Amino acid sequence: MKKWIAIVLGSLFAKAGIAQEYYVTMKGDTVRGEIKSFDKNGIRFKPEDGPAAQKVPIGDVKAFYDKKDKSVYFRQYLPDVKDDVFVKLLEDGRIRLYERLDLQMRFGAPTFGFGGISVGGMNQSKQKNWYASKDGKPLEEVKTSELLKSKSRSERKDSFYSLFDDDPDMMEVVKKSGQFGFDDIRKFIKQYNELNPVKSK
């Protein structure tokens, strides 16, 4: 798994000037073309020099590169969602940090007029969730912008702290800082990865 991710990222950076989109199949084959869109069910993809865009189920996609935000997305199982979804890779190393953007539709506030009470229009609410995985272990949610979650802030903080359990000095720095914002989480993960690089086999 680590070797495969390194190959994907290496290929991506090597072709950064081309910025060509692609997806990787479950067999590890790279299919080049254009990512039209993606959601929880899969990607809408137009093959290079191929026919019109077609739907590729999420079960057939291991990862894909989206040039719109210059990011690699991986299919991962999320414990709170209890399903496989696409998450954006933000930091790579022994600890990997991922982001999931959840677009939720909500009714607007009610309005009052001569015709009585009416419900406001639909509003799109963007909720972000961040997950971390260490040494290829299952993802754990470490931060969210959602107000109502089954996992408490204290539980998410404990999950975050556990990422540094093999580096007492780093653990002390993290805990003493008392900071638990997203920028702090990303900074500490980046720092850990720099101090504890992945060992080549």
What are the backbone angles phi and psi of residue 171, rounded to the nearest 5°?
-60, -40
pLDDT mean across residues, the chain: 84
Q: How far apart are CA 74 and CA 96, in angstroms?
A: 11
73: confidence class by pLDDT, cuts 50, 70, 90: very high
Report pLDDT for 118. 46
Is residue 10 pLDDT above 50, yes or no? no
Is residue 126 pLDDT above 80, yes or no? no
Domains of the chain are 1-68 (2.30.30.100), 75-101+130-196 (no CATH)
Tell which wins on pLDDT, 189 or 117: 189
Q: How far apart are CA 155 and CA 187, in angstroms?
A: 20
9: confidence class by pLDDT, cuts 50, 70, 90: low
Is residue 29 pLDDT above 80, yes or no? yes
> What is the average pLDDT across 143-153?
80
Contact indicator for 34, 46 with CB cutoff of 8 Å: yes
What are the backbone angles phi and psi of residue 141, rounded to the nearest 5°?
-70, 130
> What is the average pLDDT across 59-82?
94
- Nearest Cα to 147, choosing from 125, 180, 132, 131? 125
**Secondary structure, 3-state, 104-126:** EEEECCCEEECCEEECCCEEEEE
Report the DSSP beta bridge partners of residue 127: 102
Report pLDDT for 58. 97
Q: What is the pLDDT of residues 166-182, one digit of tens each?
A: 999 999 999 999 899 99
Contact indicator for 26, 62 with CB cutoff of 8 Å: yes
Q: How far apart are CA 188 and CA 180, in angstroms?
A: 10
49: confidence class by pLDDT, cuts 50, 70, 90: confident
102: confidence class by pLDDT, cuts 50, 70, 90: confident
> What is the average pLDDT across 18-25?
84
Strands of the sheet containing 42-47, edge to edge, are 54-57, 42-47, 30-39, 21-25, 61-66, 71-78, 83-91, 95-107, 122-134, 140-144
- Nearest Cα to 34, choosing from 46, 44, 50, 16? 46
